Chains A and B, each alone.
Chain A
Amino acid sequence: MLPHLDAAFNYAFWLTRNSADAEDLVQDACVRAMRFLSSLRDDDARAWLFAIVRNTWYSRVSRRANLAEATPLDSARDERPDVALDPEERLLQQHTVALVRAALEQLPADFREVIVLREFEGLSYKEIAAVVRVPIGTVMSRLARGRERLMAVLKLTAPMEIRR
């Protein structure tokens, strides 16, 4: 479990958008993961841990109604500036990272999590479908729609395309 702890925490953060909740969540998930350790298949431990993190989170969310409004976005970030860049480039990079993070945070949770699993974790469509428990076709359409929204928010699409 420990080798995948960073991945689990990063995924938990993007589910909860809050580091205190993410920490709680991952700890709970690890306790549950250990209880079911006998049913663990070695070859997909990482995806399996994601699935447990996700189940733990959604069983909590359903217990706490209106959680989305109640949970403030986290402002204390683990920022590690890239020391290899000069100050101007670093500032530009931090600015871009902040923009992309904000855009991801605004995405609906369904879209956000498939993008996190695909772009950060490199999971295949099949693996994502298993974690999120939806058909592969749904994974595909959520990815496509999530990316469309990100493109629009980040204004990556050329102006003439927007008018279309």
Chain B
Amino acid sequence: MSCEHVERDLDTYLDNELDAATAMDVRGHLNECAACRRRVAEREALSRLVRAVPYYSAPDRLRARVLAQTTRARSARRLLTWAAAAVLIVSLGGGGMILWRSTGTHDDAIAVELVDNHVRSLMANHLFDVESTDRHTVKPWFLGKLDFSPPVADLASIGFPLVGGRLDYVGGRPVAALVYQRQRHTINVFVSPASNDALTQANVQSLRGFRIHHWVHDSMSFWAVSDLNEAELTEFCEALEAS
């Protein structure tokens, strides 16, 4: 691969949007070419600078207004739902109720719960019970609070520092929530024993703009929830599974 090719693919390479084969070619070239390595370093520096710019956060009065609108819209919708349900019950008798209730699948319910937990942890300012970047502090904290010991890894070396841990509930059971950070994005990893089969199956990969990854490793069930992009969340999950 030539320098011109690398220059052309520079952004796609750094954004993790190149196909695996081309990305490997780029890496091969970078091993040999100091000039291109410098170009990559400059681009990475730019990315770090831009990402260091703080968010413009929504003012509280805007949040309050949108919340008021949402509540109004939701009560109107709820009224409609109840009206529809009432019609259904009247027309079908008891059977209508059962039909109506079985529309949401169990997997969806767990996914909704995980995303709700994730959002709540960010909004209610209750991200951690134990705030630490040291896994030797986080892991022992769960002792005596859970009937299992969640594996805790720190992935700071690849840009996903551990920032803390928390006790959470999924499917009516206590689970360990490990909190990782990627720039301004938070990743919640929910861990429970895989024997708890209610939490081991899932088809939902994303919900309301949050991505959900699930895997089972060493008879532990892992759920990672974040608004991080697909490529970076996959990288994170693979690293965590391999650690």
Question: Which residue numbers of A lie inside 8 Å of B, CB to CB?
Answer: 1-10, 13-14, 19, 22-23, 26-27, 30-31, 34, 37, 42-49, 78-80, 93, 96-97, 100-101, 104, 115, 118-120, 122-125, 127, 140, 143-144, 147, 150-151, 154, 156-158
CB distance from B161 to the nearest CB of A (A): 14
Q: Which 6 residue pairs are nearest across A and B when measured between Cβ atoms?
A: A46-B209, A9-B58, A45-B209, A43-B206, A122-B229, A13-B56
Q: Which of A6, A27, A34 touches B65 (beta carbons < 8 Å)?
A: A27
Q: Which of B17, B38, B69 touches A125 (beta carbons < 8 Å)?
A: B17
- 20 residue pairs bridging A and B, Cβ less than 8 Å apart: A2-B123, A3-B119, A3-B209, A7-B55, A19-B56, A23-B62, A26-B58, A30-B69, A43-B206, A93-B52, A119-B51, A120-B53, A122-B227, A122-B229, A122-B232, A123-B229, A124-B17, A124-B229, A144-B10, A147-B46
Are the CB atoms of B49 and A100 closer together than 8 Å? yes
Q: Which of A31, A79, A80, A120 touches B51 (beta carbons < 8 Å)?
A: A120
Are the CB atoms of B46 and A140 closer together than 8 Å? no
A2-B209 contact given A150-B50, A154-B49, CB 8 Å threshold: no
Q: Which of B47, B56, B183, B210 touches A22 (beta carbons < 8 Å)?
A: B56
- Does B208 have its Cβ within 8 Å of any Cβ on chain A? yes
Q: A8: nearest residue on chain B (CB-CB)?
A: B58
Question: Which residue numbers of B lie inside 8 Å of A, CB to CB?
Answer: 10-12, 15, 17, 38, 42-43, 45-47, 49-59, 62-63, 65-67, 69-70, 73, 77, 119, 122-123, 183-185, 205-210, 227-232
Q: A98: nearest residue on chain B (CB-CB)?
A: B53
Are the CB atoms of B62 and A97 closer together than 8 Å? no
Interface on chain A toward B: helix, strand, loop, or mixed SS? Answer: helix
CB distance from A84 to the nearest CB of B (A): 13
Q: Which of B42, B58, B77, B122 touches A156 (beta carbons < 8 Å)?
A: B42
CB distance from A123 to the nearest CB of B (A): 6
Chain A residues with Cβ below 8 Å from B54 are: 78-80, 97
Q: Other than A2-B70, A43-B207, give 9 A-B pairs with Cβ distance below 8 A.
A: A1-B66, A19-B56, A30-B70, A45-B209, A46-B209, A46-B227, A93-B52, A124-B230, A154-B49
